[in-house]
Amino acid sequence: MRELAPAKINISLLVGPPRADGRHELASVMQSITLCDELTMADGVRDEVICPGVEGPNLAQRALAGFRECSGWDGPPQRLEILKRIPVAAGLGGGSADAAAALRLLVRRSGLGGEEAWLRELAARLGSDVPSQLRPGRCLVRGGGELVEALPPPAAFGILVLPSHASLSAAAVYAEADRLRSPRSATELAALDPLALVGVNDLQAAALSLEPSIAVAIERARFAGADHAFVSGSGPTVLGLFHDPLAADRAAAALAAENVGAISAKPIPPPD
């Protein structure tokens, strides 16, 4: 069985106060895009996740173990292979996308339903970005990531993705954001409309503080004609949003001709 794991971008990301569980209150519009990892699942000799080029613990492995524990499914061992295309530790939710895609594969493999409360609760335990990616598309996310409201697909637009050679830990960026300024209050966060704040990312200053080269990429996206240029999630990837999808394609091609790593992407609609 095969499943694509789309990267996500935060069209807006508003950060509120820290919670008792260590996460922050959020208000964010998230959009899945056409930059995807590819997962393949088949019976194996033991439950394992193979992800060439990525060292250390893998969130998809936790998803597999958590699915068995929460569902009680005792099917045969599963071998999960991940072909990585989404940059790691880049603010594009690649690890969370893989975990969510692994859960979708396991739902299909086990024959269990995909809308049970326990599945959403498991996704929330795995990470703040996983619930929003259980069903790729466009959504409004609140709470610590566990409150997800599906949104209608947007009008067509283009996305310029400028990956970085650096990587940033989301935990480090949140800690730096707390050091630089007080987060928005819960009252302020509840009063704001993330749909109206395209390109606002409360983590951008912290990401810039930890990785100053981000500023160059933001200026590059602006010079390429982006209508909005900003950091993706916790960074260090920079996004350029274009009202004209073809303009994003042209910008990516022009930057590639200058030996600048750039990817043109588009929003993907929710599955049928």
Catalytic residue among 37, 98, 129, 202: 129
pLDDT of residue 269: 81
Helices (H), 49-137: 59-71, 94-110, 117-126, 130-133
Distance from C-alpha of 137 to C-alpha of 78, rounded to nearest angstrom: 27
pLDDT surpasses 90 at 229: yes
Kindly report the pTM of this predicted structure: 0.93
Structure confidence by residue, pLDDT tens digits, 67-122: 999 999 999 999 999 999 999 889 999 999 999 999 999 999 999 876 778 999 99
Structure confidence by residue, pLDDT tens digits, 22-42: 899 999 999 999 999 999 999
Distance from C-alpha of 103 to C-alpha of 123, rounded to nearest angstrom: 8
Instruction: State the average pLDDT for the chain.
Output: 94
Query: Is there a catalytic annotation at residue 84?
Result: no
pLDDT of residue 53: 82
Cβ 105 vs Cβ 75: under 8 Å: no
Catalytic residue among 8, 37, 98, 202: 8
Mean pLDDT over residues 249-261, rounded?
A: 93
Cβ 126 vs Cβ 110: under 8 Å: no
Q: Which domains does the chain have, with CATH numbers?
A: 2-150 (3.30.230.10), 158-265 (3.30.70.890)
21: Cα within 13 Å, side-chain hemisphere: 12
Angle at 16 between CA 11 and CA 17, to 5 degrees: 155
pLDDT of residue 114: 67
pLDDT of residue 107: 95
Structure tokens at 43: 């019976």
pLDDT surpasses 70 at 272: no
**DSSP percent split of the chain into helix, strand, coil, nearest 5:** 35, 30, 40
Mean pLDDT over residues 9-23, rounded?
A: 94
Q: Cis link prior to 236 (omega < 30° from 0)?
A: yes
Instruction: Identify the CA nearest to 161 among candidates 257, 69, 255, 258.
Output: 255
Structure tokens at 210: 């930890």
pLDDT of residue 56: 74
Q: Which amino acid is at 220?
A: R
Query: Is there a catalytic annotation at residue 8?
Result: yes
Write the DSSP assignment of 241-255 as a string of letters. EESSHHHHHHHHHHH
Pairing mode, strands 147-150 and 78-83: unpaired
3-class DSSP assignment, residue 91: coil
Structure confidence by residue, pLDDT tens digits, 159-201: 999 999 998 999 999 999 999 988 899 999 999 999 999 999 9
Cβ 159 vs Cβ 241: under 8 Å: yes
Structure tokens at 120: 């959403």
C-alpha dist (Å) from residue 61 to 83, 99, 229: 15, 8, 34
Structure confidence by residue, pLDDT tens digits, 143-165: 999 999 999 999 999 999 999 99
Angle at 94 between CA 152 and CA 195, to 5 degrees: 30
